[in-house]
Amino acid sequence: MAATHRKSIREVSPIEVYQQLPRTNCGECGETNCMAFATRLVNREVLPEACPPILRPEAAQAYAVLSLLLAPPVRAVTIGTGGRAIVAGGKYVLQRHEFTYHNPAPIAIDVADTLPEKEREARVKAITPFSYQYIGRDLSLDAIAVRAASGDPATFRRAVAQVASLTDHPLILCTLDPAVMAAALEEVGKRRPLLYGATEGNWKAMADLALSHRCPLVATAPGDVALLRSLVRTLRACGIDDLVLDPGTFPDSGLAATVQAFTDIRRAAFEGSDELLGYPLLGVPMAAWLGEEMAPELVQWKEACLAALLLTRYADLLVMHSLEGWTLLPPLIWRFNLYTDPRRPVSVEAGLRAVGSPGRSSPIIVTTNYALTFFTVESDLKVGHVDCHLLVVDTGGISVESAVAGRYLTATTIAGAVKSSEVGHAVDHRYLVLPGLAARLSGETEEATGWRVLVGPKDSSGLPGFLSSRWPPAAP
């Protein structure tokens, strides 16, 4: 099967997309004209389905061409069903700064079928509710990988059934024995688990299972990209297109080869337009536990580093082992940052927020709507038990110092925020506390707002101490 060329999203022009649209400027998509809609399609801000006319039978050919034009070089693969389903892959660019990465790489935690039943239950119950709040976002684990460490069909089936009864998280079934896999699929086949995996030796039986249960399948050929590509060709010829690729994860002495393989595969998909390698990549940081013997704390550290490295080098799905927070948080936070849109800073909604239980004599603290700034300021105020009004100014999601330098935070924007928030109705005083990094705006702000200004500390951690000695302000 010859690889065919599909354009990167950055190579598709709005004109090409526009030519496939109805070009009636009907406005049913919510845009003023079809060219505006085409531009949003190229920017991945909307889906083609937002155009009702393109879905009509007479537009079927145009819709097919449009779908091909906008198809990502790395296909998206759905694992699981319903609201908890996860999507791996669906990448449009090689480098994040070119556009943005879609579908944050799901992170699965392994559960072995050899664990005693109570221990297995406790492990699943620890995985399912895991959550961490980071600048207003909920970071959580996405799936459970059940491993057939026993190699026994009945044992694996019981373990999978138990895990499935305890969680609605998507499942990854891990065994290279088709008979063992078949036993588990009798329990959870309808949940569309990811099957790990098809090898050079078992591909036919695994392909039959994937087709009969309509499940995505992992093609694995550790350390051999050429064999992996050949295996993909064979599986595609069998009618399987929901594939995930495992090129192998080798910690320690094989780490350089691991990174090189992931990089070569992803470059082949984008720079070589190789459809056979244009599938999500599976990384297995838990392989750190299979390396040289060392203290558990060091293995956990190594697993966290390996997870972050694989995320950086194009992994679209990870399987980890440790449940320690300090092991999981680095890759979870790094994943969050990798998958933010580089064109838009992470921001919060501007407006007036209450911290604690502010009253009419409480201070008004001014900050920007850059998410990291906002949540840092809010956290410092809460830790200091400060009751206050937090006036969040829209600076386009830019931090205080940068917003002042770029004229996004000005006396005019602060005055506009004071007016639109109607904060004057919430207090009996007329004082604003500006960030120390915005000190140079104090005079202009007093003129623009008619309010008095106190210049706070440069670091928000100093706000509680500053307010304890400076609030309420002395009479002028």
pLDDT in tens, 123-145: 999 999 999 988 888 999 999 99
pLDDT, one tens digit per residue, over 386-430 is: 999 999 999 999 999 999 999 999 999 999 999 999 999 999 999
Same domain as 13, residue 144 = no
CA–CA distance, 456 with 466 (Å, rounded to integer): 7
CA–CA distance, 431 with 388 (Å, rounded to integer): 12
The reply to whether 422 falls in a domain is yes
Same domain as 84, residue 64 = no
Same domain as 416, residue 397 = yes
Going by their DSSP bridges, the two strands 388-393 and 351-355 should be labelled as: antiparallel
The reply to whether 345 falls in a domain is no
Bridge partners of residue 318, in order along the sequence? 107, 283
Q: Among 42, 69, 96, identify where a domain stops.
A: 69
* Residue 376, domain CATH: 3.40.50.11600
pLDDT, one tens digit per residue, over 145-199 is: 999 999 999 999 999 999 999 999 999 999 999 999 999 999 999 999 999 999 9
Q: Among 47, 69, 91, identify where a domain stops.
A: 69
Q: Among 69, 85, 118, identify where a domain stops.
A: 69
CA–CA distance, 125 with 113 (Å, rounded to integer): 15
The answer to whether 157 and 179 have CB atoms below 8 angstroms apart is no
The tokens for 161 are 């059934």
The answer to whether 168 and 143 have CB atoms below 8 angstroms apart is no
Same domain as 323, residue 420 = no
Same domain as 251, residue 230 = yes
CA–CA distance, 174 with 439 (Å, rounded to integer): 59
pLDDT, one tens digit per residue, over 5-31 is: 455 555 788 999 999 999 999 999 999
CA–CA distance, 53 with 28 (Å, rounded to integer): 8
Place of tokens 């140079």: 440
pLDDT of residue 4: 41
CA–CA distance, 99 with 92 (Å, rounded to integer): 8
Same domain as 226, residue 368 = no
pLDDT tops 70 at residue 459:
yes
State which residues form the domain around 226. Answer: 74-338
CA–CA distance, 388 with 393 (Å, rounded to integer): 16
Same domain as 89, residue 52 = no
The tokens for 155 are 């044992």
Q: Residues of the chain with pLDDT > 70: what percent?
A: 97
Same domain as 92, residue 55 = no
* Residue 24, domain CATH: 1.10.15.40
Same domain as 50, residue 125 = no
pLDDT of residue 43: 80
Place of tokens 């799936």: 143
Average pLDDT of the chain? 93
DSSP 134-200: ETTEEEE--EEEEE-TT--HHHHHHHHHHHHHH--S-EEEE-S-HHHHHHHHHHHGGG-PEEEEE-T
Same domain as 81, residue 63 = no
The answer to whether 14 and 42 have CB atoms below 8 angstroms apart is yes
The reply to whether 448 falls in a domain is yes
pLDDT of residue 3: 41
Q: How many CA atoms lie within 13 A of 310 on its CB side?
A: 34
The reply to whether 343 falls in a domain is no
pLDDT of residue 67: 84
The answer to whether 37 and 14 have CB atoms below 8 angstroms apart is no
Place of tokens 């911290």: 355
CA–CA distance, 412 with 444 (Å, rounded to integer): 8
* Apex 432 CA angle, 430 and 437, nearest 5: 160
The reply to whether 3 falls in a domain is no
* Apex 291 CA angle, 285 and 292, nearest 5: 145
* Residue 197, domain CATH: 3.20.20.20
Same domain as 379, residue 318 = no
SS3 378: helix
pLDDT of residue 252: 87
Residues 39-48 have a mean pLDDT of 83
Number of domains in the chain: 3
The tokens for 11 are 């190579």
The reply to whether 475 falls in a domain is no
pLDDT of residue 342: 83
Q: Measuring CA to CA, how many Å separate 232 from each of 200, 218, 397? A: 10, 10, 43
pLDDT of residue 352: 97
Give the number of residues written for the chain: 476
SS3 282: strand
Residues 363-377 have a mean pLDDT of 96
Residues 266-277 have a mean pLDDT of 94
Q: What predicted TM-score, i.e. pTM, was given to this entire model?
A: 0.84
CA–CA distance, 461 with 449 (Å, rounded to integer): 26
Conformation bin of residue 322: beta by default, left when phi > 0, alpha when psi is -120 to 50: beta
The CA-based dihedral angle spanning residues 226, 230, 236, 240, taken in that order and rounded to the nearest 10 degrees: -70
Same domain as 97, residue 237 = yes
pLDDT, one tens digit per residue, over 60-106 is: 999 989 988 888 899 999 999 999 999 999 998 898 887 788 899 99
First vs last C-alpha separation in the chain = 82
The reply to whether 96 falls in a domain is yes
